[in-house]
Structure 1
Amino acid sequence: MRYVAPTREALDRRVLASPPLSHWSGYAAFVEGDAWPDVHALNACWSGESRHRFVTQDKALLADGLHYEERIAKRGAIATRPRNWHDLFNAFVWLRHGPIKRALNARQVAEIAIMGPRERSRPQCALTHFDEAGMVVSLRDPAMLAAWDTHDWHALFWTFRDAWLRGDARVEVFGHALLEHALTPGKLLVGKALVVMGQGDALARCAEAIGSGAILNDPLELRPLPVSGVPGWHPDTGDEAFYTTAPCFQPLRAGRVYPAPL
């Protein structure tokens, strides 16, 4: 069933105080206000020099016949539908995570050159899954990765609860569709994760690996993560039984094996 986000008027603004939306508080004015921001307000948020700009998606824009990704690559024009949560969150991700967005766009355009605008390759599917529902997870403890490998969600989130609370394990939600879903209070969120072990700039490592083609060549490279299990991300994460009863915590499918982390 297709997700339908709440209207701006019906939005329960308490969702903005909890992750993942609370992590985007720098853009809260665009979400909390009664009026929808236009592309001019969004373009004023670019930091430094950028060839990219948000442009209103209308019939005149689409008349150029370009694929969405090609328009970004050739003109730096990011088509943005007015009064649309999905595209508003996409703009936020471009503003915060430009290097990853640019790497995804370059890869998509390269695949379009091979496949044409109507067919989709396995790499394109992987790139799109990450763009829409992706997250970057940073871990330090290999035991946490081992728990994730077997979908031992109780261990990953409850046994290692302190690691999440200390910041030794962190999640950066990248996918704009996932952020849109977070507008519904109490919704159980499951995303598609890239994992980086150790310290350092996890986002920069992901951008480099995506750009080089080292990762995101198949959707099965992405690990599902019920991110609502991160302590504090859902009202029920203080209840141990949540990790064994909530429907988002699915067992590992037979034969499913995940690739090594970055």
Structure 2
Amino acid sequence: MRYTAPAREAVDRSVFAVPPLADWQSFLPWLAEASWPSLDALNAAWPATVHERFAAQTRELLADGMHYEQRIAEHGTIATREANWHDLFNALIWLRYPAIKRALNALQVAEIATMGSKARSRPQYAATHFDEAGVIVAVRDQALQALWDTHDWHGLFWRHREAWRDGRLEVRVFGHALLEHALTPGKLLVGKAMSFAVGGAQDMNDVLAACAEGIAEGRLLRDPLQLRPLPLSGIPGWLPANALETFHLTAECYQPKRPGRSYPEPERLEHCPEPGDRAI
């Protein structure tokens, strides 16, 4: 069923105090105030030197006949529906993660050049899934990766709850549709994740840079099956219900691994601890 976001005046403001929307406090006035931010206000948040700008998605704008992605690549124009949650969150992602957004745009444009504007390739599907529902995960304990790979959700989210608090597992939500869905309190969220194995002095900024680089260099997002599900609603603090073990045994967001399904090795950053360095 297609998700319909609540009207702005109907949003329960408590959602902005819990993840994932709590991570966007620097944009809180644009999210929580009674009025929608103007495109001028959004554009004022860009550094002066960047190529891109948000532009109202009007009939006149679309009359140029260009594909959405090509318009961004050639003119820096991001067609944006005003007073629209989905497009507002897309704008916020552009402002926070421009390098990854540019890499996705370049991937889409390169595939359009090959496929045309009607057909879609496997990399395009992968890029779209990540753009809408993407999650970037830094894994500092590779034994936990094994739990994730086998869909041992009880182990990953209950037996090792502290891993989500102590930095062994760190998440950044990238998909703007996920942020939109989070406007509904209690909604179960499942992201389409890329996993990055890190260690030593590497931090999330290194992971984000590696994500953009991997997409730009054609290593990542070549197929939707490179993405793995991550039930975000199981992370401590993201949903009150997950404080009870029964949630992790019965929640609908936890699906078993399909027979024959496999996942790629996580992207590895330097100085990552090898599997087995920590005991489960």
TM-score normalized with structure 2 length = 0.92
C-alpha separation in 2, matches of 1:259 and 1:224:
13
Q: Determine if the alignment matches structure 1 residue 205 to structure 2 residue 210.
A: yes
Counterpart mapping for 1:81-100 below 5 A: 81-100=81-100
Partner of 1:245: 250
CA shift digits 1:107-158 (9 cap, x unpaired)? 0000000011111000000000000000100111111100011100011111
Q: Determine if the alignment matches structure 1 residue 152 to structure 2 residue 152.
A: yes
C-alpha separation in 1, matches of 2:45 and 2:182:
23
CA RMSD of aligned residues (A): 0.7
Task: List alignment gaps of at least 5 residues for structure 2.
Answer: 268-280
Could you say what secondary structure the match of 2:79 adopts? strand
Partner of 1:226: 231
Partner of 1:255: 260
- Confirm or deny: 8 A CA contact 2:235 2:242 kept in the other structure: yes
Which amino acid counterpart does residue 241 of structure 1 have in structure 2? T
Partner of 2:121: 121
Counterpart mapping for 1:180-219 below 5 A: 180-199=180-199, 200=202, 201-219=206-224
Partner of 1:179: 179
C-alpha separation in 1, matches of 2:197 and 2:242:
24
C-alpha separation in 2, matches of 1:49 and 1:187:
39
Report the CA distance between 1:168 and its aligned residue: 2.1
Report the CA distance between 1:254 and its aligned residue: 0.5
Q: Determine if the alignment matches structure 1 residue 67 to structure 2 residue 67.
A: yes
TM-score normalized with structure 1 length = 0.99
Counterpart mapping for 1:37-56 below 5 A: 37-56=37-56
Shift in alpha-carbon separation, 1:212–1:144, aligned structure 2, 3 A? same
Could you say what secondary structure the match of 2:243 adopts? coil
C-alpha separation in 2, matches of 1:9 and 1:204:
37
Report the CA distance between 1:48 and its aligned residue: 5.0
Partner of 2:29: 29
C-alpha separation in 1, matches of 2:167 and 2:19:
14
CA shift digits 1:35-65 (9 cap, x unpaired)? 1111101001113520100000000000000
Matched residues, percent identical?
Answer: 60
